Structure 1
Amino acid sequence: MRDFPSCFSENGVQISETTHGSSRNGQNMSACVYQIHMGRGESRMITITWSKNMMGQGFMIEIEDGTKHCLSKVEIKPWLFSKRKGSKNLDVEEATKVDIFWDLSTAKIGPGPEPLKSYYVAVVFDMKMVLLVGDMRKEAYKKTGARPPHSNATYIGKREHVSGKKVYSTRTQFCNNGRIHDISIECDTVRIKDPYLEICIDKKRVMLVKSLAWKFRGNQTILVDGFPLEVFWDVHSWLFGSPITTNAVFMFQSYAHVDKSFPWSSCSSSFRESQLQALGFSLVLYACKE
């Protein structure tokens, strides 16, 4: 099995549990990481962290350079009665400015921290739309007056905190512009003699780990949309620590360049690892028990 912590660092997305905090009040924090192209061969990382509490929904945008050094950030705190749209200007570097526009005034909100539809968050640099999140694309271009970029932003990672009694759920896509999947993780380590781990995608079981007391850490390759997806899990703290104060960690790692026609499911794990070279999208879930 590959070293579990190293898998988090290989994909270029900084994974920091303490930075984003853990919640005991349900699923209320999600950080989505994008790589944007600024022109002249320069790229930057943008993280949009969605949060939700009793006062409403908010988000924070952080812009980082290639060394994960934060160049600039802005936080739009949760609101209840104020207007849920606006704009801000950010100084990212010397002589470099970006404009942030957002409109969540008609956003449809689900149980998670991210809006479901009828919203946009736009990042504009040099009058080009370097990042556009949400489904209100026409409204965003009309409001900002920006032009389409030479190269689209790439969605490369997501970090999310989920909580529950034995079932933990989220929604995500495993590649840029891919379809959105519903993920459900069921893991009961308290009330049964032989704990197990079950993962379903779109209500279909794709993985079952029995004898979890012996297999509390591991990885397995599954197929989603015909492509290989590596799943890592670490539930050691739930089994041998304090499940109320510690998190289990799950990671779903896709790959950027694979041969879809190749029979991946019949290959050994060592062969699959040698063939899957370019890392694509990573979803990391920190799961805490209520």
Structure 2
Amino acid sequence: MRDFPSCFAENGVQVADSSSSNAGKNAQNLVTCIYQCRIRGRTCLITVTWTKNLIGQGLTVGIDDSCNQSLCKVEIKPWLFTKRKGSKSLEAYSCKVDVFWDLSSAKFGSGPEPLAGFYVGVVVDKEMILLLGDMNKEAFKKTNATPSSSSALFVAKKEHVFGKRVFAAKAQFSGNGKTHDLVIECDTSVSDPCLIVRVNGKPMMQVKRLKWKFRGNDTIIVDRMAVEVLWDVHSWLFGIPSTGNAVFMFRTCQSAEKAWSFSHSLTDAKSQSFGFSLILYAWKNE
């Protein structure tokens, strides 16, 4: 099915890549987060992907330049995190990049992303350009790094969610904003299905006559910010729900432009208001 393209920089960075239903839902339990950082004055994107399957849980950290060209990548195999603590040195922009991780005490929920008790750090020139998790003290002690002069910017997240009628996720639409409970409700078994989006239990958007409006966009207000909601539920209504997924995008931006393709510059250091994208692939459990 068609995905929502989200393009950054001149040549674009695809954050909503193809989600193949042929791979099966069991292979789709993953969360991908994209962060904008700077390495020696150059803009780069660090992609952190958490996976979970029958073998165990895994982690991949990749670094791309602003033109979506891969610079380096490290993959921790999903053997129940056999190597739960460690580091690996890579090279990007002709300089050494060190990736450190400690997942030995990580606590997980139903998804592949750890909830607490871990850190993942990326160090360049003895500066911590990206640090994830709640073990900051341990991370800085292990790496001997100092905080970076420029903070990493969380620009996109892609997640697979599952349910029969209700699909839930956590959403933080700004770096310093609150984390919200996001719920999508849609019962496709009725003759006239309706789509409802709730934030913290409050209905924010309702789409009636969904068979005629199976693709579309609307705007809601969260934390005094405009959040554009785009949806594509064609597979739910006209395909086989158990093998096809719907796609939802929640996007914050200053522009009033409403289109399927979004382009914003990452190279302008003065402008960091291009927004945040949350892409949800929703799979129905029949």
- Whether TM-score is above 0.5 comes out as yes
2:257 corresponds to: 273
Q: 1:89 to 1:38 in 2, by over 3 A?
A: same
1:262 corresponds to: none
2:159 corresponds to: 160
2:82 corresponds to: 82
Match of 1:249 among 236, 240, 247: 247
1:286 corresponds to: 281
Structure 1 stretches lacking a partner, 5+ long: 259-271
Shift of 1:82: 3.0
Q: 1:22 to 1:113 in 2, by over 3 A?
A: farther
Instruction: Deviation per CA, 1:173-215: give whole Å up to 9, x if none.
Output: 11123222221111121x2111011111222221111111111
State whether structure 2 residue 25 is matched by structure 1 residue 24: yes
- Counterpart residue type for residue 70 of structure 2: C
Q: 1:19 to 1:197 in 2, by over 3 A?
A: closer
TM-score normalised to the size of structure 2?
0.86
Q: 1:21 to 1:100 in 2, by over 3 A?
A: farther
Q: Distance in 2 between matches of 1:144 and 1:212?
A: 52
Contact residue 177 and residue 223 of structure 2 kept, 8 A:
no
Q: Distance in 2 between matches of 1:26 and 1:194?
A: 32
Contact residue 27 and residue 112 of structure 1 kept, 8 A:
no
Q: 1:81 to 1:34 in 2, by over 3 A?
A: closer
SS across alignment from 1:160: strand
SS across alignment from 1:279: coil
State whether structure 2 residue 230 is matched by structure 1 residue 232: yes
- Counterpart residue type for residue 211 of structure 1: R
Q: Distance in 1 between matches of 2:201 and 2:27?
A: 21
2:267 corresponds to: none
Contact residue 220 and residue 232 of structure 1 kept, 8 A:
yes
Q: 1:5 to 1:113 in 2, by over 3 A?
A: closer
1:193 corresponds to: 191
Q: Distance in 2 between matches of 1:180 and 1:23?
A: 30
Q: Distance in 1 between matches of 2:21 and 2:252?
A: 23
1:268 corresponds to: none
Shift of 1:22: 5.8
Q: Distance in 2 between matches of 1:65 and 1:33?
A: 12
Contact residue 238 and residue 246 of structure 1 kept, 8 A:
yes
Contact residue 164 and residue 289 of structure 1 kept, 8 A:
yes
Contact residue 26 and residue 164 of structure 1 kept, 8 A:
no
Contact residue 4 and residue 249 of structure 2 kept, 8 A:
no
2:73 corresponds to: 73
Q: Distance in 2 between matches of 1:220 and 1:142?
A: 46
Q: Distance in 2 between matches of 1:281 and 1:19?
A: 24
- Counterpart residue type for residue 37 of structure 2: I
State the identity as a percent.
52
Q: Which has the higher helix share?
A: 1
Contact residue 126 and residue 146 of structure 2 kept, 8 A:
yes
2:213 corresponds to: 215
Contact residue 23 and residue 161 of structure 1 kept, 8 A:
no
Shift of 1:5: 6.2
Instruction: Deviation per CA, 1:237-284: give whole Å up to 9, x if none.
Output: 2112222222211000012x58xxxxxxxxxxxxx439x985310011
Q: 1:194 to 1:65 in 2, by over 3 A?
A: same
Shift of 1:83: 4.5
Q: Distance in 1 between matches of 2:81 and 2:73?
A: 24
SS across alignment from 2:146: coil
SS across alignment from 1:142: helix
Q: CA RMSD in A?
A: 2.5
Q: Distance in 2 between matches of 1:122 and 1:81?
A: 17
SS across alignment from 2:178: coil
SS across alignment from 1:139: helix
Q: 1:23 to 1:85 in 2, by over 3 A?
A: farther
Structure 2 stretches lacking a partner, 5+ long: 265-272
Q: 1:34 to 1:10 in 2, by over 3 A?
A: closer
